[in-house]
């Protein structure tokens, strides 16, 4: 057993864990951070987009040396059927600002950099160490962790569980349920390398400008899911994710889905001739507000993906992770500086602070969205995209058909597919869940 006792142990060196460890170390707390990867980032997978504001609150001058790829000037949403896409594009020169709002990043590189800041702040970071269990006393209070190292148990006043969506410790200790197939999505991703100039030409970019494409429709074959294409400096992150329950139900394979997405006529030209240098897979928490577990207890708090903090509607996760990590750390520090115990009662401060932040406000706003999307997946991800595509083609194709007839046939195709009740019901349910 390591005799040394820590103020806090942080399990995991992802966005949430790094934010928590950094914040506590800076406040002078004695922090031990444990990471099972060879280095921070070697086990972490994300699209990935970094939201500057949340990082700025931790490291105001991050733009000076953080490994950033491209700042985003354009966002595209694609509704796809098998041969076409209907797009909504937003591009603004305003995004070419000095302190850009969003960047694409490569997680392995970014997390290593983030981790170096945690070390600089004075935390002890121990990589290649898998935490196997939480150590609890006779009353069930968390008093530390057990690792796969010889040293065994390490003790601390509080353990911050930043162990990610597939965290085992919290579930093994029965502090929360394991993720369920209808509450998590499996995303698979490839890194496609191309010369910088080729990427810039294909995506209409100059310098470090970047583009995000987010796509939904028949590419997920009626499953609840989305595809994404992010332009980095010299590579393109391309992936697709769907609910695990849908994979289970349909028997579709993730790699065939990815392959299908890559071969789509709207996507293939963007990656033509590229060299794939990595294939990765990761779960994404999709259960929303109602899936958030108990966030604190005697001697522990849970942050980030492990706490299911992911806003699927706005595709925000890492910023919620960073913010929950920072807030948990601030709450812990307040409890400590008042010389109070790390009990559930006192750590409830974390939840109260999180309630006041955008994190739980945003999660709460969309609390009904996951159920709507998951139970109507055939309509939202198959029927509507096909109808919208057909309507666009009817509208654009000039063939001597009178316009009134075209409108009638478009309307008829919608009513035939979903009926008036279905259309109004979907619109109503969607509006109510969005409100």
Partner 1 sequence: MKIERSVRVEDKLFCNRYLVDAGRPHIKVRAHTRPSPQLLALLRACPARCYDLNDKGQVEVTVDGCMECGTCRVIGEPTGDIEWGYPRGGYGVLFKFG
For residue 44, state whether it binds partner 1 (rule: CB under 8 A): yes
CB-nearer residue toward partner 1: 166 or 343: 166
Choose among 235, 209, 297: nearest CA to 108.
235
Distance CA 380, CA 384 (A): 6
Could you give the string, one character per residue 76-115, with x where binding to partner 1 holds by CB under 8 A and - elsewhere?
A: ------------------------------xxxx-x----
341 is an interface residue for partner 1 by CB under 8 A: no
Q: Give the shortest CB-62-to-partner 1 separation in angstroms.
A: 18
Cα 133 to Cα 90: distance, rounded to the nearest angstrom: 47
Q: In the complex with partner 1, which residue's Cβ is closer, 17 or 41?
A: 41
The binder of partner 1 chosen from 18, 23, 33, 46 (CB under 8 A):
46
Rounded CA Rg of the chain: 23
Q: Provide the b/e sequence for 167-193 (b: ≥16 CB within 10 Å).
A: bebbbebebbeebeebbbbbbbbbbbb
Taking the C-alpha atoms of residue 271 and residue 278, their distance in angstroms, rounded to an integer, is 14
Handedness of CA 74, 165, 54, 116 (dihedral sign): negative
Encoded one letter per residue, x for contact with partner 1 by CB under 8 A and - for no contact, window 119-158 reads --------xxxx-x--------------xxx---------
* Residue partners of 292: CB distance under 8 A and separation at least 6: 307, 308, 309, 360, 363
How far apart are CB 74 and partner 1 at their closest, in Å?
A: 22
Q: Which is nearer to partner 1, 8 or 235 (CB)?
A: 235
Instruction: State the nearest-atom distance from the C-beta of 163 to partner 1, in Å.
Output: 9
Give residues with Cβ within 8 angstroms of 94, minimum separation 6: none
Give the span between the Cα atoms of 360 and 311, in whole angstroms.
Answer: 10
We find the least distance from the C-beta atom of residue 14 to partner 1, in angstroms, to be 10
**Residue nearer to partner 1 on the CB measure, 38 or 405:** 38
Q: Count residues near partner 1 (CB under 8 A).
A: 55
Residue 178 or 412 having the CB closest to partner 1: 178
- Between residue 366 and residue 405, which ones bind partner 1 under the rule CB under 8 A? none
User: Between 215 and 244, how does the x/- string for binding to partner 1 read (CB under 8 A)?
Assistant: --------------------x--------x
In whole angstroms, the minimum distance from the beta carbon of 309 to partner 1 comes to: 17
By CB under 8 A, residue 15 contacts partner 1 = no
Contact 314, 332 (CB under 8 A): no
Stretch 178-217: interaction string toward partner 1, x if CB under 8 A:
xxxx--x-x-x-xx--------------------------
Tokens for 367, please give them: 């609390």
- CB-nearer residue toward partner 1: 252 or 374: 252
CB of 125 to partner 1, least distance (A): 13
For the chain, what is the largest distance between any 2 Cα atoms, rounded to a whole number of angstroms? 85
Strand-strand pairing, 142-147 and 153-161: antiparallel
Query: Within 307-336, which residues bind partner 1 (CB under 8 A)?
Result: none
CA 84 – CA 264 distance, rounded (Å): 8
- Are 350 and 20 a contacting pair, CB within 8 Å? no
- Distance of closest approach, residue 46 Cβ to partner 1, in angstroms: 7
**If binding is defined by CB under 8 A, does position 43 make contact with partner 1?**
yes
Does 166 help bind partner 1 (rule: CB under 8 A)? yes
Residue 278 lies near partner 1 (rule: CB under 8 A): yes
Give me the DSSP letters along 344-360: HHHHHHHHHHHHHSHHH
CA 353 to chain centre: 22
Look-up of token digits 């349909």: 250
State the residues that interact with partner 1 by CB under 8 A.
Answer: 36-38, 41-46, 48, 106-109, 111, 127-130, 132, 147-149, 165-166, 168, 178-181, 184, 186, 188, 190-191, 235, 244, 247-248, 251-256, 258-259, 276-283
């Amino acid at each position: 057993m390591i005799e040394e006792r820590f103020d806090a142990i942080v399990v995991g060196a992802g966005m949430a864990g790094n934010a928590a460890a950094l914040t506590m170390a800076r406040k002078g707390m004695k922090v031990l951070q444990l990471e099972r990867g060879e280095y921070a980032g070697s086990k972490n997978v994300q699209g990935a987009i970094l939201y500057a504001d949340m990082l700025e609150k931790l490291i105001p001058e991050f733009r000076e040396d953080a490994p950033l790829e491209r700042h985003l000037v354009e966002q595209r949403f694609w509704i796809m059927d098998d041969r076409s896409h209907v797009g909504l594009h937003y591009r603004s020169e305003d995004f070419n600002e000095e302190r850009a709002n969003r960047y694409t990043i490569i997680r392995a590189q970014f997390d290593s950099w983030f981790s170096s800041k945690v070390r600089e702040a004075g935390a002890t970071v121990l990589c290649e160490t898998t935490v196997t269990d939480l150590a609890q006393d006779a009353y069930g209070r968390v008093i530390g962790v057990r690792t796969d190292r010889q040293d065994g148990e390490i003790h601390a006043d509080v353990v911050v569980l930043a162990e990610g969506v597939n965290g085992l410790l919290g579930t093994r200790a029965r502090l929360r349920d394991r993720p369920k197939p209808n509450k998590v999505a499996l995303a698979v991703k490839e890194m496609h390398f191309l010369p910088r100039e080729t990427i810039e030409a294909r995506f209409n970019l100059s310098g470090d400008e970047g583009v995000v494409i987010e796509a939904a429709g028949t590419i997920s074959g009626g499953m609840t899911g989305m595809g994404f294409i992010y332009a980095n400096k010299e590579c393109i992150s391309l992936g697709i994710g769907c609910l695990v329950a849908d994979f289970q139900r349909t028997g579709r394979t993730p790699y065939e889905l990815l392959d299908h997405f890559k071969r789509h006529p709207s996507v293939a030209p963007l990656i033509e001739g590229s060299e794939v240098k990595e294939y990765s897979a990761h779960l994404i928490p999709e259960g929303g507000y109602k899936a958030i577990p108990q966030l604190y207890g005697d001697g522990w708090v849970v942050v980030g993906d492990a706490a299911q903090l992911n806003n699927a509607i706005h595709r925000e996760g890492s910023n919620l992770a960073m913010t929950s990590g920072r807030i948990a750390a601030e709450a812990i520090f307040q409890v400590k500086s008042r010389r109070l115990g790390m009990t559930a009662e006192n750590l409830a401060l974390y939840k109260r602070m999180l309630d006041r932040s955008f994190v739980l406000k945003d999660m709460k706003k969309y609390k009904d969205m996951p159920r709507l999307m998951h139970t109507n997946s055939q309509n939202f991800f198959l029927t509507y995209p096909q109808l919208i595509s057909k309507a666009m083609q009817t509208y654009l194709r000039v063939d001597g058909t009178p316009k009134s007839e075209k409108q009638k046939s478009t309307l008829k195709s919608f009513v035939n597919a979903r009926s008036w009740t279905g259309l109004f019901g979907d619109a109503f349910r969607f509006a109510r869940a969005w409100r």
